[in-house]
Structure 1
Amino acid sequence: MRNRQLQRYGLFLVLAMALAVLSACGQGSSGPSAPDSSSSPAPAAGSSGQGASGDANETITYRAANGEVQIPKHPKRVVELANSYVGHLLTLGIKPVGVKQQAADNPYFKGKLDGVDNLGDGQSIEKILQLQPDLIIVLSIVEPAVLEKLSKIAPTVAIEYGKLPVREQLLEFGRMTGNEDKAKAWIERWDRKIADYRPKVKAAVGDGTVSILQPYAKGIYAFGHSFARGGEIVYGEFQLKAPPIIQKEAIDSGKGYASLSLEQLPDYAGDYVFTSPWTGDTADPEVTYGSAVWKNLPAVKNGRVFTIDRQGSLFNDPVSLEEQLEFIVGKLTGANGS
């Protein structure tokens, strides 16, 4: 028994050394030059394999971005370090045991994460160990050394953000966790909502263009169809028009966003604009909002600028999309300004 305790203590010391490098789990962004995706800012490559028995220890072989991983067939204690997939888990009836600060700050999760440990920036090995997870979820951009350390705690699945649209990503999580039926049920409900709202929104907007803009320290970000902020709904579900330059640089390119200067803003601003300050720095958004360039935009003059939630807009999971949907539909059909 004493030898076993010493072995466990030795493993804890090895894992604790990972604390200094675990900062790579801190953001869902690929680097300082890219907007945060929650993280902007979703996706594993697929799943396969069969469990050997029906007991609690049954596992499956899951093909993730980091290769084949043996994971519990029905995980019970999931630590979500990617931020982007907390809402997927909640939709499938799985409350994670630990999430990062960014997910905890999402107003759309209010009341849904009661009792869930807030792991802050996700860098504390001790906190993750204490939660005794049976599955850890990270983004594929995590440092290999960090991924290795996490994998010693529990099976760790890395997901490539933005590879799969929301329906496919939710189905993937359903297959991963043994909840495919719940995933399909949500998709059916979502499809009915979109089918009801789409003609109303398109009738209200007509041939008008829509932009999603966020000022940041070095300029302004314009978002497309796959980088949260409501783009999946505006351009994906409702198929509304983006200004040509956004269509080219943020959508057709597959990048999901474009960066522009204040002087370029008139080319990127649509007839309708959704906006909020970016969360990735402490720049003063009034540099943009208080400028003559901004104030002279047709959307501003016509009262067609709508302020999206700064924290909630970072997410494109099912829970967040449902909230964003109601907001977007209400603004575009009512056009009552911000």
Structure 2
Amino acid sequence: MLSKSRKPYVVLVFTLAFALLLASCGQSTNHNAESSPSSSESLPSPSSGEAANGTKIYAAANGDIEVPVNPQRIVDVTAFYTGFFVALGAPLAGAMDNALANPYLKGKVDGVANLGTVPLPESILALKPDLIIAYKGTDEIDQLAKIAPVVAVEYGKLPYKEQMIEFGKLTGKEAEASAWVDQWEKKIADLKPKVQAAVGAKTVSILNPYAKGLYVFGHNFGRGGEIIYGEFGLKAPEEAQKAAIDSGTGWASITLEKLPEFAGDIIFTCPWSGDTSDPKIVYDNALWTTLPAVKAGNVFQLNPAADTYNDPVSLDAQLDFIANSLLSVKS
């Protein structure tokens, strides 16, 4: 199974710690309310912000949720949606470690608290969020909802442009969301005919070697697939089309022996970031070195630390590399 399942890894200690923490907080709040009121006055109050902004009902994957009209302290525990909020200019208070590790977000998330690899309740409580974003199916949604309203999102249900518009509605940033989509579509409209003319009828594959073979990626699982297949309308090899795109999964796992069936005339590749196996097992194999794309020099190296992301910030950064690579394709 792909280790990058788009859901946070959760441990049992979260639930136990949460129950204990809420109990202790409830007791200490009653005692401290009279003895030290200044402790609550020294930090901004999410509840006062909500009162000033009002609330609205948002239709989320976990039901109709009452959320602030203009949230001021968003905590994102999804990792792979963080870049959407950065692109919107929405006020992020905290995010997961692997979200903040995205090189494309460098310099754009200064001051955002790092929640580590597991979203512990005391860390989230300390941030005083007024909105929490989580994946649909996250086990602790009910517990998180005791801290702040939780909007659950089903990963991949919406294409990224529609998801951007939805997050704009959620955060009161509709104008910013529409502006990003408009400028993105203008870039694509300029580049698409040039890319299609350069590529012609050639097929394109996205391949990641790993310990047991290769992952083949499609149109909605990062690594440039949204741009290559979705925006530029380029074709995958027939087997890759069936397994990674038509299936709706966005990816497929194949053995090395099947590589020639899934390899396109053009290949985008990088080692799989989910394990530590030596990619030379694939890259030095005759099945790889004799591929037409390899022999023609039409293989382009993705960044394994960055190109797994498919949020607006990451896509903007990927676009130049992907377009320039495709425009340089050799006949």
Give TM-score scaled by structure 2 length. Answer: 0.84
The one-letter code sitting in structure 2 at the alignment partner of 1:282 is T
Q: CA deviation at 1:122?
A: 2.9
Residue 12 (structure 1) shift: 8.1
Query: Which of 227, 233, 236 is matched with 2:227 structurally?
Result: 233
Runs of 4+ in 1 over 6 A off after TM superposition: none
- Judge conservation of contact 1:15–1:149 (CA < 8 Å) in 2: no
Question: Can you give the 5+ residue segments of structure 1 that lack an aligned partner in the other structure?
Answer: 1-10, 19-52
> Aligned with 1:56: secondary structure?
helix
1:218 offset after TM fit, Å?
Answer: 2.0
Q: Residue 231 and residue 57 in structure 1: after superposition, are their counterparts in 2 closer, same or farther (change >3 A)?
A: same
1:14 pairs with one of 14, 19, 22: 19
Check the 8 A contact 2:18/2:121 in 1, yes or no: no
In structure 2, C-alpha distance between the alignment counterparts of 1:54 and 1:137, rounded to whole Å? 17
Change (3 A) 1:12 1:76: farther
Does structure 2 retain, via aligned residues, the 8 Å contact 1:15–1:125? no
Report what 1:216 is aligned to: 210
Q: Do 2:50 and 2:69's aligned partners in 1 also have CA atoms closer than 8 Å?
A: no
Could you tell me which residue of structure 2 aligns to residue 72 of structure 1? Answer: 68
Identify the residue that residue 82 of structure 1 maps to in structure 2.
78
| Structure 2 match to 1:127 | 123
Q: Hey, what does 2:11 align to over in structure 1?
A: none
Change (3 A) 1:16 1:296: farther
Deviation at 1:95, TM superposition (A): 3.9
1:16 positional shift: 4.0
* Partner Cα separation in structure 1 for residue 18 and residue 101 of structure 2: 31
Partner of 1:61: 57
**1:215–1:12 Cα change, 3 Å:** closer
**One-letter code aligned to 1:162:** G
The residue identity in structure 2 corresponding to 1:107 is P
Residue among 125, 134, 141 paired with 1:138? 134
Distance 2:50 2:178 in 1: 23
Aligned residues: 290
| Matched letter for residue 110 of structure 1 | K
The CA distance in 1 between the partners of 2:255 and 2:228, in whole Å, is 23
Question: Residue 207 of structure 2 contacts residue 215 of structure 2 at CA under 8 Å; is this kept in 1?
Answer: yes
Q: Structure 2 CA distance, aligned partners of 1:15 and 1:177?
A: 31
Whole-Å separation in 2 of the counterparts to 1:245 and 1:141: 31
For residues 335 and 173 of structure 1, do their structure 2 counterparts lie closer, same or farther at Cα, with a shift above 3 Å needed? Answer: same
* Distance in 2 separating the partners of 1:284 and 1:329: 29
Summarize deviations over 1:198-229 as a string: whole Å, max 9, x none. Answer: 01100110000000011122221101111111
Q: In the superposition, relative to structure 1, how do residues 15 and 300 fare at CA in structure 2: closer, same or farther (>3 Å)?
A: farther
Cα distance change, pair 91–231 in 1 and its aligned pair in 2 (3 A): same
What is the rounded CA distance, in whole Å, between the counterparts of 2:283 and 2:114 in structure 1? 34
Q: Determine if contact 2:104/2:313 at 8 Å carries over to the other structure.
A: yes
Match of 1:256 in 2: 250
1:331 offset after TM fit, Å? 0.6
Preserved contact between residue 79 and residue 98 of structure 1 (Cα < 8 Å): yes
* Alignment gaps of 5+ in structure 2: 1-15, 24-48
| Letter in structure 1 aligned against 2:300 | F
Q: How far did residue 17 of structure 1 move?
A: 8.6
Task: Look at both structures and tell me which one has the larger radius of gyration over its CA atoms.
Answer: 2
Who is 2:45 aligned against?
none
Alignment RMSD: 2.0
Distance 1:296 1:16 in 2: 59
Deviation at 1:108, TM superposition (A): 0.6
Name the % identity: 53
Matched, 1:206 2:200: yes
